[in-house]
Homo-oligomer: A and B are copies of this chain.
Amino acid sequence: MVTELYGKITIKPEIRLLGIDDSKLVKKDVLIIGTVFRGSHWMDGVMRTTITKDGMDGTEKLIDMIINSRHYRQVRAIILDGITYAGFNILNIKKLYTGTNIPVIVIMRKKPDFKKIKKALSNLAYPEERWKLLKSAGEIIDVFTRDPEKPIYIQCAGLQKKDAIKIVKMSSTRSNIPEPLRAAHLIATGVICGESKKRA
């Protein structure tokens, strides 16, 4: 198993986590918000970039945002909301890990419907490249966080599976997903739509 190649990381309650979410697709350049949290406790910083709707620039733009942040050296894990941002701008989580040297954890509320996604990709440029990115994100693991009956699903790059699970459980204190991701979602939708909305 690939993830077992990585050493164990120290997971303190105040571990710095970076949650990244996108906003609604109101124009070609889609706002991306990153929030730095100390564990699940408090927000320590906010960063932003834009990526192209249905583009191929997501991974590079995220790496740039992260390595140029004043929080860069403190962040111990990047938490993503799926790997499909800004329409179908699909992220390469292994490249995001090697480009930042920070482990990556992908959170999904539902298991991806690969059949449906493959069909959607056929209408875009570079369908095979995007498909490869999707399939390369690795094993999908069930994790029970706040809701004991409804798991979330994760994928990871650059850290052991058990460490990823520990970080996700520890930081999902107010909902079924990690706090940095919940906050990034509130901010991204609030800024673009005028007010944040709870997810369905």
Contact = CB atoms under 8 A, between A and B. Distances in A.
Contacts of A68: 195
A194 B49 contact: yes
B196 A45 contact: yes
A98 to B, nearest CB: 23
A27 to B, nearest CB: 15
A143 interface: no
A174 interface: yes
A46 B174 contact: no
Contact of A186 (B43, B65, B190): B43
A51 to B, nearest CB: 14
| Number of copies of this protein chain within its complex | 2
A195 B43 contact: no
B46 A195 contact: yes
Interface string A17-49: 000000000000001010000000011011111
Contacts of A70: 195, 197
A190 B31 CA distance: 12
7 contacts: A42-B174, A45-B186, A48-B191, A48-B195, A49-B194, A69-B195, A187-B187
